[in-house]
Structure 1
Amino acid sequence: MSSPSQIQIKEANAHLAALHHRVAELEGTVREQAESLIRKDEQFRNALRDLAETKDRKISELQQRLAKSEEAMRRLMAFIKEKDREQEQLRHHSHLLARMCRSRPLLDTLVSLMVEAEGIPCLPAVEEQNGLSNVLDYPQSEDDLTDSDADKTLFGTTV
């Protein structure tokens, strides 16, 4: 074999120098990209941490709003129950009032009789029979017989 010529050795050395230079350039590029990736990774970690904090803050705010809403709902439900009770009472009073209105003609008759009775100057004579008192010309019911003060009472209205 023959030994390489001076020119071939110079070309090979130049080629090796260019190759070393290219390897150094690529190593620099790799280093720059690695540093860039490290910076971007740190930025992404910071952004992710900020997002997590924001998410946690929003979740906390939403939980507080939910708790307030649930409390407001409980108050409203209690208010509705109270209004339902009041409505039931009013319904009962309405039924009583309707019954009273249906009884009004009887009450009017009773009141007019009481007014007429007030106009009588004195009560008719009372007659005692078997320990029971009977007012002449007026029929008595069992309620009248149990009232011991019936003969002492005078008619009066507050209408």
Structure 2
Amino acid sequence: MSALSTVQIKEANAHLAALHHRVAELEGTVREQAESLIRKDEQYQASIRDMLIAKDREIGELQKRLVQSEEEMQKLMSSIKDKDRELERLRHQSRLLAQMCQNRSLLNALVSLMAEAEGISCLPNVEQCNGLPSVPDYAQSEEDLEDSDVDRTLFGTTV
């Protein structure tokens, strides 16, 4: 084996020193990148925690709004049922009024007869029977016979 010259040894030492320096630089870079990654990871984890908290809060608010909406819907459904009942009652009254209007002439004739009857102070041959007055049968005149159509209409039979 040949002996190494001093120049070769110096060059080898310089090369080793440069390599050692380069390894130190690379280790520093790796440390900086690892620290940077750790910081970014911590930032991302904090960001994810914040998003989860915000998401949970928003879900809570939405659930609260859903409950309120369902309560409001129940109130509205109850109101609709009440209004439907009222509408049906009013329809019934409307049908009754329509029937009354259709029979108005008959009602007017009946009211007129009742007013005339109230005007008579006493009826002839009224006898008391068990506390109730008895009214004798009257013979019908031609005018009464003409009004018999009105009587049949009153009872729903028109012949």
Q: Flag whether TM exceeds 0.5 (same fold).
A: yes
The residue correspondences of 1:135-154 to structure 2 (distance < 5 A) are 135-137=136-138
Query: Is contact 1:126-1:134 (8 Å) kept?
Result: yes
Q: CA RMSD in A?
A: 2.0
Report the number of matched residues.
136
TM norm structure 2 = 0.78
Listed one character per residue, the Cα deviations across residues 16-73 of structure 1 (whole Å, up to 9, x for unaligned) are: 1000000000001101111111111111111110110000000000000000001000
The answer for unaligned runs of 5 or more in structure 2 is: 141-159
State the AA in 2 paired with 1:8.
Q
Higher relative contact order (CA 8 A, sep 6+): 1
Q: Within 5 A, what are the aligned runs for 1:19-98?
A: 19-98=19-98
Give, in angstroms, the shift of residue 117 of structure 1: 2.2
| Alignment partners' CA distance in 2, 1:56 and 1:136 | 92
Amino acid of the structure 2 residue aligned with 1:30: V
Q: For 1:124, give the aligned amino acid.
A: P
Could you tell which deviates more after superposition, 114-123 or 55-64? 114-123
Q: Quick check: 1:104 aligned with 2:93?
A: no
Paired residue for 1:17? 17
SS at match of 1:125: coil
Percent identity, aligned pairs only?
67
Q: Secondary structure at the match of 1:135?
A: coil
Name the amino acid aligned to 1:120.
I
Gaps of 5+ in 1: 140-159
Query: TM-score, normalized by length of structure 1?
Result: 0.78
Q: Is the 8 A contact 2:125 2:135 kept in 1?
A: no
Q: 1:138 to 1:116 in 2, by over 3 A?
A: farther
